[in-house]
Structure 1
C-alpha cells in the first residue's frame, strides 16, 4: 500500500507520539509499503529514506511553544498528488492532520485516524477551559469521518468512546527490546545521574518537562526520602519552573539524552517515577521496564495498561505523597521486591516488538479500505483483498 501519514508532530521533536510514528513508518517501509509523512516543520525532508513533506508552521505560543501548528500549501499538496496515496492516516488530527481528513474526503481515499492525546484535558492544563467543549466537538467530528480509529491503550479506547468517537480499535503497545535492556547499565551514567554519588539510591524521570506531566508532585517525595537522588532526563517549557522548585535538593537535570546514553540512563536507575495524569500510554515507562527498571506510575491515562500492580511496578495517585513515597521506598529498600518487579517488567516487555504492532496497524489499514469500499464504492488498494465473508 501507499500510505500518507498526516501528523501534528514528527522528528526532530521528541515525545511518545513521535517515538511511535518513527518506529511505525520505519517498519511499514521494511514491510514493503510506500510511506510519506506530512508534518509541520522545520526538520529534515526524509526520515530513514522516507519522504517527509514539511508544512509552514508557527509555534503554539504562549501555551506550548514546542508544538508547531502547520498550514497546508499548494506545493505540499502537489507532492502528495505525485505520491498518489492509497490510504491516509491522520495522527491526532487538529490542524495539519485535519487537512489529511479533508483530502481523504475530496479524493475518496480510505481514512484511518489515531487518537493519542487527551487534548480536551490539555485545555484545562493550559488555562483555557472555555475551549474544552469546542475542542471535544471538533475532535469528535474529525475522528468520526474516519473508517477506523485507533488508540494506543485500552483506557484511551474507553476515553475515545466516551467522547463519542466511533469505530475504535486498539493500537498495541511496543518497545525496542534491542535498544532498551538491562545490560545497558553504565557506571559512568550512574555517576552522572547521581551527581557523583553512585552509591545513593536513584529515582529517574524521562520525558518532556512540561506542566501537564505533573512533575511537581515529585518534589515532596524527596522530603520523605532524604537519601534518594532524582534525575530528570528531558527538556521542555516547564524547565525553569522545575529548576526553581527543586533547587537545593539532590536533583540532576541532564536535558535530552539520545541513543545509547538514553538506554544507559534507563538501565542505570533503581526506580522510574512517572506521575503524569494525561499520558495515553507512557512509552518511556515501557522503555524503563524493558531496561529492567521497576516503575511507579500514576493510576491514570494509559499507564494502568502497562503496569500490573505488584507484578512489574506500582500504581499510585501522585497527590497521595505518602503512598507514592512508600512505594518508591519499598523498591529501594527491599532487594527481593526489586528483583521480583524487575523480572515482571522484563517479562512485560518481551515480545512487544514494533514489527508486531505495525502488522496490526496494516490490518487496520485493510479494514479501513474495506469499509471505504462498502461505504463509498472506492477501489481497494493493490494487494488488499475483500474479506472472505464479503
Structure 2
C-alpha cells in the first residue's frame, strides 16, 4: 500500500467566508500535518484574507445569485508542487480544475459531498420550474461526482442522497467532517452569562448559525411561546428582521445576540441547557456536534443529516418537523434527562474529533494510491 503524504485541496469556498465548508477545509489543512505531510489549498481570491504558506488563491469573479461568494477562474497555480492525491470539496469551477489537475498528473482524486444542491433550489425558484431546476441540479452533481475516484459524505443521509436521489454511480464512504474538540469542550459559562445578562433561574435554550428562511428557526420561537423558557439566538442573516418581529409577538423571553466571535462559542454552548436545531437542510450540522462536544444535549428536527448527527436518547432528542407539540415534548424530556444526556455527550467527544476523521481519510487515501 502506498502512503499518501501531501494532499492538494481544491475548494470554491474558503476564507474569509465563514461556513461549514470553509471551517472543514481550514481545520483539515491545519491538522493533517500531525498525521502526514502537508495539505496545500487552492481557492478563489477574495478581499479580506491574506494568503499564508500553502494557500494558493487564484483570480476570481463574483458568483451569480450569491454575491458574497467568488468563482475562481479555472487555472492552476504553477507552484503548487507535486501532491500525492487531490481532494476536491466543491463541484464548481475550482472543483473541476482540481479534477483536471489530478488527471493531468495521473493522481487519484477524492471529492467531499458537503452540499445538496437541489435542496437550495427552492431558495431561488418556485412554481412549475422548481422540479426542473432540481432535476438539473442532480444531473450536474452526477456529472461531477462520477468523474472522481471516491466520494466521502459526512453522514449516511448525505451518502444515501447522492446514491439514491442523485443516482450517482460512485463509491461513497461516510466520514464525519469532524470538529476541533481541543477548542469545543465544556467550559465555565459564568462570564458569558454575565456579559449577555442571561438568567440563571430558568432553563435556557439556544441556537446559533445563519438566519435564513431554510433554517426554520421560527419553530424554536413558537416552541417557547407561553412558557418560562428563555431562548437565545446567535448569528445573523437575511431572515433576522422577520424572526425578531415574530419573537416580539411571542409571550416569552427571546434574545438575539447577533454574530458571536468564534472564541465565545464554547461558553455559549456551555451556557445552554438545550441546543435547539430546527434546520432540515443540513448535510451534517456541525453546530450540533459542537454543542455535543461541549456537553450540551441537542433537540433537532428529525430530517436530513440530523437523523444521524443527533442520537435519540443519547445526545438529545429529535422531533417531527412542523409539530410544535412534538418539539416541546422533546425539549421537556431533554431537560428532565439533562444530566444523563450531558454525560453521554461528553463520552462521545473522541468520536467527534477531527483527528478521528483524518485517520479514516488517511486509510481511504492510501487505498486509492
In the alignment, which residue of structure 2 is the partner of 1:231?
A: 232
* Paired residues for 1:51-62 under 5 Å: 51-61=55-65
2-structure distance, mates of 1:296, 1:331 = 8
Q: Which stretch of structure 1 is more off in the superposition, 125-134 or 205-214?
A: 125-134
Q: Residue deviations 1:284-334, cap 9 Å, x none?
A: 1011011111100111122122222112200112311101012112333x2
Shift of 1:92: 2.6
* Paired residues for 1:1-390 under 5 Å: 1-42=5-46, 43-46=48-51, 49-61=53-65, 64-66=66-68, 68-72=69-73, 74=75, 77=76, 79-80=77-78, 82-127=80-125, 129=130, 130-162=132-164, 163-165=166-168, 166-182=170-186, 184-193=187-196, 195-224=197-226, 226-249=227-250, 250-332=253-335, 334=336, 337-369=337-369
2-structure distance, mates of 1:26, 1:142 = 27
Q: Which stretch of structure 1 is more off in the superposition, 301-310 or 124-133?
A: 124-133
In the alignment, which residue of structure 2 is the partner of 1:372?
A: none
2-structure distance, mates of 1:144, 1:112 = 11
Q: Residue deviations 1:2-46, cap 9 Å, x none?
A: 322111212222222222221111111333422221222314243
Q: 1:69, 1:95 within 8 Å by CA — same for their partners in 2?
A: no
Structure 1, unaligned runs of 5 or more? 370-390
Q: 2:43, 2:58 within 8 Å by CA — same for their partners in 1?
A: yes
2-structure distance, mates of 1:41, 1:237 = 25
Change (3 A) 1:174 1:198: same
In the alignment, which residue of structure 2 is the partner of 1:377?
A: none
Q: Secondary structure at the match of 2:304?
A: coil
Shift of 1:243: 2.5
Q: 2:86, 2:108 within 8 Å by CA — same for their partners in 1?
A: yes
Change (3 A) 1:46 1:252: same
Q: 2:32, 2:38 within 8 Å by CA — same for their partners in 1?
A: yes
Change (3 A) 1:231 1:50: farther
Change (3 A) 1:124 1:367: farther
Q: Secondary structure at the match of 2:57?
A: strand
In the alignment, which residue of structure 2 is the partner of 1:381?
A: none
Instruction: Give the structure-2-normalised TM-score.
Output: 0.89
Change (3 A) 1:361 1:220: same
1-structure distance, mates of 2:208, 2:78 = 36
Shift of 1:107: 3.8
1-structure distance, mates of 2:14, 2:32 = 16
In the alignment, which residue of structure 2 is the partner of 1:375?
A: none
Q: Which stretch of structure 1 is more off in the superposition, 288-297 or 309-318?
A: 309-318
Instruction: Give the structure-1-normalised TM-score.
Output: 0.84
Q: Residue deviations 1:88-136, cap 9 Å, x none?
A: 2111313332222233334433211110111111102333524211111
Structure 2, unaligned runs of 5 or more? none
Change (3 A) 1:138 1:314: same
Shift of 1:65: 4.1
Shift of 1:59: 4.4
Q: 2:217, 2:279 within 8 Å by CA — same for their partners in 1?
A: yes
Q: Residue deviations 1:67-101, cap 9 Å, x none?
A: x1413165xx2x24542333221113133322222
Q: Secondary structure at the match of 1:273?
A: strand
Give aligned pairs, total: 356
Q: 2:350, 2:356 within 8 Å by CA — same for their partners in 1?
A: no
Q: 1:235, 1:256 within 8 Å by CA — same for their partners in 2?
A: yes
Q: Residue deviations 1:238-292, cap 9 Å, x none?
A: 2233223223552222223234311100111110000111111111101101111
Shift of 1:138: 0.8
Q: Residue deviations 1:188-210, cap 9 Å, x none?
A: 312445x5433232111022222
